[in-house]
Amino acid sequence: MEPYDLIVIGGGPAGYLGAQRAAKKKKRVLLFEKNKLGGVCLNEGCIPTKTLLNSAKIYEHTKNGNSFGILTENVLIDPTAIQKRKNRVIHMLVGGVKMTMKKHKVEVIYQQAKIKGKTDRGFLVEAEGEIYEARNLLIAAGSQPVIPPIKGGKEAMESGLAVTSRELLDFPQLPNKLVIVGAGVIGLEMAAYFAGMGTKVTVVEMLDKIAGTMDRKITKMLQKELEKKGIQFMLGYQVTEIEKDGVVCKKEDQWIRCKADKILWSVGRHPIIKGLGLESVNLKIENGKIVTDEHLRTSVEGIYAAGDVNGKMMLAHTAYRESETAVNDMFGIQDTIDYGVIPSVIYTNPELASVGETEESAKEKGLRMKTVEIPMAYSGRFVAENDGIGGICKLLMDQDTGCLAGAHILGSYASEMIWGIGALMEQKVTIEEMKKIVFPHPSVSEIIREAIFKF
């Protein structure tokens, strides 16, 4: 039998979309997935968290209905019903991916795959004793949570006191006290959900700010909004030990014990590369990540790596674009990815969305920036739909090009607006050209136009 045109290892966003794109080019494609199609994003990440967060948002709006003239009392939540709806959403979307693979005639095998080497005909891949052959490989094996080597951590994981987001998302009942270790995207979204549902949440973060490298001023504003919801932040603290009823934290010479019914590890993820047989083809690895270029090519011709395995930007939409770029390149279509215009979003309430440079990163690169900041109250729709929630739109213009170099929005619908700014940045549209764009009124997106005219 002739080799497959492409074998994909991993059925998450990078894997299943890459397989679909290749199949649409009339290529013969085989995809290996050891668990469920959809990967972390669909089964235990993006989709389930957004489903839960939407329930929390509805609950919050209902409790605060008086502000909008809606009188409510005795508002209750049903955690079991929330979980059932979350699982129903996942089942529907995973089924959609399965149907897409079938529609495009992608062969799917639910087994662990391992690269076994290369021949003159292509690459060899083994799964449960069977050998398969392909001219090209797309490695999209994803990532897994980092579990820090902290005293008592192993015992806490074994007892169920400490968990990752995978387990926490499936809890039928809400913990009374939750300690979240790490104030990145996952940690903040989980904090928002559980605090919104009535859990006492404490977030412990080693850095002096939340949300990693996102804009310092706006993340500080987000922190204040989340503190209004009862979330306690312990910034600059390091968890040194897990006890049977909580964690021990240290900041300089100060020690604090935080009680918890559950502890969430949210300190990052690392690529899954072990067991893939990468050594059989001498694939280049650095710092536990598969090395790729702007085409998603690896060090071995014919092998590409997309998604979390290359560690560039562990985001599902990045994985989508990477897999498209990889498939285009492997089948002769010139394509590259620009990581500088890929947006990031934290789906709290309010949402925080960001793309491009921050003031801090621009300064480090020696870029000449002009910055505009305006409150979301400049948007009539924002004022109409929000009560007691702050927000801001911050734009950075490169003075040498007259184009936007960064944007940061805290407020409702931020996730739905940020892509447009990224597109304008990618197309290098100048501020003066942007001033001719007509935004619908009333819309929260008008905040972008208001900010543009401040330059």
Residue 198, marked binder = no
- Any known ligand binding at 196? no
For residue 314, say whether it is annotated as part of any ligand binding site.
yes
Q: Establish whether 185 is an annotated binding residue.
A: yes
Known binding residue 380? Answer is no
**What angle is formed at CA 290 by the lines to CA 288 and CA 296, rounded to 5 degrees?**
155
Q: At what angle do helices 13-24 and 79-103 cross, to 10 degrees?
A: 30
Spatial separation of the C-alpha atoms in residues 354 and 365, rounded to whole Å: 18
What string of DSSP letters covers 224-265? HHHHHTT-EEEET-EEEEEETTEEEEEETTEEEEEE-SEEEE
Helix (H) or strand (E) holding 395: strand 392-398
19 marked as binding residue: no
Any known ligand binding at 84?
A: no
Interior angle at CA 365, CA 363 and CA 366, nearest 5: 65
Annotated catalytic, 441?
A: yes
Residue 68 is given by DSSP the state G
Residue 439 carries which DSSP code? P
* DSSP of 3-17: PBSEEEE--SHHHHH
Annotation-wise, does 315 bind a ligand?
yes
Is 426 annotated as contributing to ligand binding? no
Strands 254-259 and 130-134: unpaired
Q: How far apart, in Å, are the Cα atoms of 432 and each of 80, 183, 359, 447, 453?
A: 52, 38, 22, 16, 9
Q: Is 449 left (phi over 0), alpha (psi -120 to 50) or beta?
A: alpha
Known binder of ligand: residue 261? Answer: no
Of 72, 390, 292, 57, which is closest to residue 192 (Cα–Cα)? 57
β-strands 403-410, 137-139 pairing: unpaired
Token pair, residue 36, equals: 């469920």
Cβ pair 124, 3 in contact under 8 A = no
Q: Which amino acid is at 264?
A: L
Residue 186 marked in a binding site: yes
- Please give the helix or strand (H or E) that residue 356 lies within, else none: strand 352-356
Ligand-binding annotation for 122, yes or no, is no
10 is in an annotated binding site: no
Q: Of 61, 91, 295, 441, which is the active-site residue?
A: 441
- Asked whether residue 308 is marked as a ligand-binding residue, the answer is yes
Asked whether residue 5 is marked as a ligand-binding residue, the answer is no
Structure token pair of residue 33: 């997935």
Which residues are CB-contacts of 379 (< 8 A; sequence separation ≥ 6)? Answer: 411, 442, 443, 444, 446, 447, 450
Annotated binding-site residue? 275? no
| Two structure tokens written together for 314 | 């562990």
Query: Active-site positions?
Result: 441
Binding-site members are 50, 182-189, 205, 268, 308, 314-317
Binding-site members for NAD(+) are 182-189, 205, 268
Binding-site members for FAD are 50, 308, 314-317
